[in-house]
Amino acid sequence: GIIRRAWTMILALFLALESKMTSFAKKAWKTGMDEPKKVIHCLKVGMGLSLVSLFYYTRPLYDGVGGNAMWAVMTVVVVFEYTVGGTLYKGFNRATATLLAGSLGVGVHWLAIKSGNDGEPVILGASLFILASAATFSRFLPEVKSRFDYGVSIFILTFSLVSVSGYRVDKLFDLAQQRLLTIAIGTSMCILISILVFPVWAGNDLHLLITRNLDKLAESVDGCISEYFNEETARGEEEPTCKKSQSYKCVLNSKASEESLANLARWEPGHGRFGFRYPWKQYLKIGTAMRHCACCLEALSGCINSEIQAPDFIKKHLSEGCKKLSSNSTDVLKELSSIIKSMKRSPNIDSLLANMSASVDDLQNTLTSLTNQTLLSPPPPSPVLPGDSPENQSEPTHESMVDVPLMGVLPVVTIASLLIEIASRIEDVTDTVD
């Protein structure tokens, strides 16, 4: 009885664990297949650690750094980052902060010894308290946070190690020197491996992210409009456009990764087509302009999915203008993306911009002419209108026929003017790209 129940429970637990493990493994496999660069990074970390542990295994090297080789191992574990920029940032911060804090620690230690036996713990404790508090506070300042966050934490660490162990260990200078040497070994190894073996440049990643986001934006401008105006004609094919029209959401959410990449890219030396001191901040500006666009698209897709739907004949009337504008906008966005990709000014962009503003004007004219055709003259006796209007309008207070159009026109007009707004924001993006 009890044994059998316990057995089934254990079995069920085991099965649940197994299914969880397999789903986890599948996810991991998928991640690895999608981005082989990440797998390579893992192998690089393994390689770096194995290399650095050689210091331990081979006796001559081991004797050189005097048993403190584990600092080198630690450095490799902590400093090795996915991107070259990240590794350089951490390596530079770690080395500088260790040097700074080490020399400061030795200085404070010297001061403490001078002040006699009683004063020693007081001075050491007070300096630790004050420096640790001040350094912790500096991490809250955005300038320090974005560039030296890791360095400050290493500064506190090293200073407290030196000042605390200084009380015991007499060979303080030796310790500081060895720590610096091992950290230098670990850092340079990380930097060499990350630059020489399949480097992942943060700057390049940022570049790719921006161009990919521009493409996505283009895709979803196109997708949204064609989804709206072709709704009835192609129900079956809607799935892919629906997915396309949602891709602007990636653009909305990529702020954090853009910023961290731009932060890391600053640390990188020139590589590929990017020089040192390449203006990475421009990419952030382009990103901001794109998010503006994406916000408008978000509002647009809200209108598309809203309950009040325009009658078909009005939709048809505006369909051509909207589609033209959207395809022109898409062209501009795609051209921008290819400009950024090739990093060359394109001769086409001006004519494409002119096309876009021409179709903005066309759409505005169409909207104006809509007034004359459908609002002033009573609507044409199309079979769609009478059956369609009462459902769509929630509370028909005015029962005359001419009411319906404006309420019906509302969403289409909103969409059209949002498109116009998007077009003007795309111009902003263009300005930023230059």
364 binds its own copies (CB under 8 A): yes
Give me 33's structure tokens.
Answer: 């297949």
Report the nearest approach of its own copies to the CB of residue 70 (Å).
6
Give me the least distance between CB of 38 and its own copies, in Å please.
Answer: 5
Query: What residues have CB less than 8 Å from 375, skipping those under 6 apart?
Result: 402, 405, 406
Residues in region 405-424 near its own copies by CB under 8 A: 405-407, 410-411, 413-414, 417-418, 421, 424
Q: Quick one: DSSP state of residue 371?
A: I
For residues 197-235, one letter each, b for 16 or more C-beta atoms within 10 angstroms of the residue's C-beta and e for the rest, the string is eebbbbbbbbbebbbebbbbbbbbbbbbbbbbbeeeeee
**Tokens at 334, concatenated:** 């795609």
CB of 50 or CB of 351, closer to its own copies: 50
Supply the minimum distance, in Å, between the C-beta of residue 278 and its own copies.
25
Instruction: By CB under 8 A, tell whether 377 contacts its own copies.
Output: no
- Residue 49 as a binder of its own copies (CB under 8 A): the answer is yes
In the stretch 90-129, what mask flags binding to its own copies with x, by CB under 8 A? -------------------------------x--xx--xx
Give yes or no for a contact between 339 and 218, defined as CB atoms under 8 angstroms apart. no
Q: Which amino acid is at 115?
A: S
351 binds its own copies (CB under 8 A): no
Distance of CA 292 to the CA centre of its chain: 16
Q: Does 309 engage in binding with its own copies (CB under 8 A)? A: no
189 binds its own copies (CB under 8 A): no
Q: Does 149 bind its own copies (CB under 8 A)?
A: no
Burial, 268: exposed, middle or buried (Cβ in 10 Å; 0-12, 13-18, 19+)? Answer: buried
Residue 374 is given by DSSP the state I
Binding characters for its own copies, 129-148, by CB under 8 A (x = yes): xx-xxx-xxx-xx-x-----
Calculate the alpha carbon distances from 376 to 49, 405, 406 in Å.
Answer: 79, 10, 11
Helices 403-433 and 202-229, axial angle in degrees (round to 10): 160
User: Which span (99-107, 210-218, 272-280, 288-296) binds its own copies, by CB under 8 A?
Assistant: 288-296
The minimum distance between CB 330 and its own copies, in angstroms, equals 19
Query: Minimum Å distance from CB 144 to its own copies?
Result: 9
Interface with its own copies includes 61 (CB under 8 A)?
A: no
SS3 call for 128: helix
**If binding is defined by CB under 8 A, does position 165 make contact with its own copies?**
yes
Binders of its own copies among 237-266, rule CB under 8 A?
Answer: 252-253, 255-256
